[in-house]
């Protein structure tokens, strides 16, 4: 019997290479666990029928003496990343029977390493949401308290890892969709620098914000996945190279910047504030210098985000018109086909965001909303560049509160407020990671809390360094 609870990608690698168990054994153990738990948690929308075949291929490669970090490692993939020949629906009815005709670049890279794909995981429809309540296929539940949301939009991928239904996962992060659920479920999630991981084959939401994120139980595993999938890709024109952002060294020792106004400000629950303050104390004990920082337009992040993201999403989602793929509803003419298909295929939140995006881009409102948001976004970028001259990290809580009860938040703006700390990294394009920082006990359940580190463009290496050190002290 393989102890999945304490297993990591690193440990599994050693065990597979030493022949302690085979990739087939490992995959079968996960399949059994999925069978036991998935009905209740709803993490996977589909478990692939060729998992054991994939594992067998990995075993053959291991037998030949091959080894790569992810060879034979079972992973879960968010339902918006394309795997050739497999269904991919973005948890939407409009793509219910869509079969991918090519591999995303990240999938090509993982296949080369010999990773085993267990299945596709639940999400908010088209990644629009922070709770996975907007999936067309039912909500994903938080393994720490089944009455609560797992967070989102990558809720299924996060729960797969948190509930030991996969060793690692890929999600997507447009405004916090990997980091917020990671915090809600007590695991590690990272959004890399914009462009560092190819998005070829990711179903788009907001193209200037979208990133493919890495999900695992600890930083070391997240780093293994990041190393496997990052790198320049000619198929993604926004892809960057290792030299796009020169590594500048401003400080002799690592300094953590704390935007106190925001981090423990209005709307942040007292428990989150306390946990955050404790985390900062721990970091000080580790020898990190801290510095209070203040960014003029930081409090505008959420407003910028909820203008730019729907604008881009409304443009991107125009392609789902019932003509080339996906759902088709027949009307009297082509216009009716469009109207009926989109009306029937898109869920409520998606329709809301498309309309909002259409509004902020429309004549008469463009300058006041979209144009202005772009300007403030540029200002915020400059403020971040400036801030990273005097600090190496910016730390905040990952979310202002713990996972809420399913169905508790019905007003869209109240759900969006969960993204207050995470959207900024997407707006300015810097890498950010969420780490578990403790628990809050409510009604006899221990609910995880998380903290977030941001670093300057291209400095995932610094995030890994500080995260590993924080993990060591936090576990004690």
Q: Which residues are catalytic?
A: 78, 153, 177
Nearer residue to other proteins within complex by CB, 36 or 85: 85
Task: Work out how close the CB of 376 gets to other proteins at its nearest, in angstroms, rounded to a whole number.
Answer: 5
Nearer residue to other proteins within complex by CB, 218 or 239: 239
How are beta strands 74-78 and 116-121 bridged, if at all? parallel
Task: Work out how close the CB of 97 gets to other proteins at its nearest, in angstroms, rounded to a whole number.
Answer: 9
Instruction: Return the HEC string of 354-395.
Output: HHHHHHHHCCCCCHHHHHHHHHHHHHHHHHHHHHCCCCCEEE
Task: Work out how close the CB of 46 gets to other proteins at its nearest, in angstroms, rounded to a whole number.
Answer: 17
Nearer residue to other proteins within complex by CB, 84 or 468: 84
Nearest to 95 by CA among 49, 135, 141: 135
Residues that bind other proteins (CB under 8 A): 84-85, 98-99, 101-102, 234, 237-238, 297, 300, 302-304, 306-307, 314, 318, 321-326, 328, 333-335, 337-340, 342-344, 346, 348, 351-352, 354-356, 358-360, 362, 368-369, 372-373, 375-376, 378-379, 411-413, 416
Q: How many helices (H) and strands (E) does the chain have?
A: 16, 13
Give strand pairing partners of 74: 116
Nearer residue to other proteins within complex by CB, 223 or 301: 301
If you search the block for the tokens 């994120």, which residue do you land on?
A: 213
DSSP 8-class letter at 25: H
Task: Work out how close the CB of 267 gets to other proteins at its nearest, in angstroms, rounded to a whole number.
Answer: 12
Nearer residue to other proteins within complex by CB, 32 or 362: 362
Nearer residue to other proteins within complex by CB, 64 or 363: 363
CA-only gyration radius of the chain, Å: 21
Task: Work out how close the CB of 469 gets to other proteins at its nearest, in angstroms, rounded to a whole number.
Answer: 36
Backbone φ and ψ for 18, nearest 5 degrees, come out as -85, -5
Task: Work out how close the CB of 48 gets to other proteins at its nearest, in angstroms, rounded to a whole number.
Answer: 17
Nearest to 396 by CA among 322, 454, 467, 445: 454
Query: What SS3 class is residue 169?
Result: strand
234-237 long-range contacts (CB < 8 A, ≥24 apart) are: 235/105, 235/198, 235/200, 236/105, 236/195, 236/198, 236/199, 236/200
The residues near 102 (Cβ < 8 Å, ≥ 6 apart) are 82, 84, 201
Nearer residue to other proteins within complex by CB, 18 or 335: 335
Query: What SS3 class is residue 435?
Result: strand
Contact call for residues 263 and 295 (beta carbons, < 8 A): no
Nearest to 305 by CA among 170, 189, 439, 205: 205
Q: Is 287 left (phi over 0), alpha (psi -120 to 50) or beta?
A: left
Task: Work out how close the CB of 145 gets to other proteins at its nearest, in angstroms, rounded to a whole number.
Answer: 28
DSSP 8-class letter at 317: G
């Amino acid at each position: 019997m393989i102890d999945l609870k304490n297993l990591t990608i690193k440990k599994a690698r050693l065990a597979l290479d030493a022949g302690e168990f085979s990739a087939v054994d490992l995959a079968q153990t996960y399949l059994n666990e999925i069978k036991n738990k998935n009905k209740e948690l709803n993490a996977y929308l589909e478990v692939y029928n060729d998992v054991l075949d994939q594992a067998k291929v990995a075993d053959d490669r291991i037998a030949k003496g091959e080894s790569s970090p992810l060879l034979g490692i079972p992973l879960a993939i968010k339902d918006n990343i394309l795997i050739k020949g497999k269904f991919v629906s973005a948890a939407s009815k409009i793509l219910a029977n869509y079969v991918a005709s090519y591999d995303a670049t990240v999938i090509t890279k993982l296949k080369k390493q010999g990773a085993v794909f267990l299945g596709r995981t639940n999400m908010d429809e088209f990644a629009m949401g922070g709770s996975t309540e907007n999936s067309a296929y039912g909500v994903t539940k938080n393994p720490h308290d089944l009455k609560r949301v797992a967070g989102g939009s990558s809720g299924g991928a996060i729960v797969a890892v948190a509930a030991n239904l996969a060793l690692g996962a890929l999600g997507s992060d447009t405004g916090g969709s990997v980091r917020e659920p990671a915090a809600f479920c007590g695991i590690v999630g990272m959004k890399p620098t914009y462009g560092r991981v190819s998005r070829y084959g990711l179903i788009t939401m907001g193209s200037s914000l979208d990133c493919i994120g890495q999900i695992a139980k600890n930083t070391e595993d997240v780093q293994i996945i990041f190393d496997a999938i990052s790198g320049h890709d000619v198929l993604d024109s926004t892809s960057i190279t290792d030299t796009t952002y020169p590594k500048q060294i401003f400080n002799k020792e690592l300094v953590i910047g704390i935007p106190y106004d925001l981090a423990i400000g209005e709307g942040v629950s007292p428990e989150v504030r306390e946990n955050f303050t404790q985390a900062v104390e721990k970091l000080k004990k580790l020898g990190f210098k801290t510095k209070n920082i203040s960014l003029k337009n930081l409090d505008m992040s959420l407003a910028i985000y909820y203008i730019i993201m729907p604008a881009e999403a409304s443009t991107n989602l125009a392609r789902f018109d019932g003509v080339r793929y996906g759902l088709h509803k027949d009307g009297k003419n082509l216009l009716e086909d469009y109207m009926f298909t989109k009306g029937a295929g898109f869920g409520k939140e998606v329709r809301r965001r498309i309309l909002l995006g259409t509004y902020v881009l429309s004549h008469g409102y463009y300058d006041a909303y979209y144009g202005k948001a772009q300007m403030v976004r540029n200002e915020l970028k400059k403020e971040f560049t400036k801030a990273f001259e005097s600090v190496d990290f910016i730390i905040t809580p990952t979310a202002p509160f713990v996972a809420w009860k399913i169905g508790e938040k019905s007003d869209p703006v109240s759900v969006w407020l969960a993204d207050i700390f995470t959207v900024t990294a997407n707006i300015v394009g810097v890498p950010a990671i969420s780490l578990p920082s403790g628990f809050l006990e409510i009604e006899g359940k221990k609910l995880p809390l998380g903290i977030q580190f941001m670093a300057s463009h291209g400095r995932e290496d610094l995030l890994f360094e500080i995260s590993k050190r924080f993990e060591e002290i936090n576990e004690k």
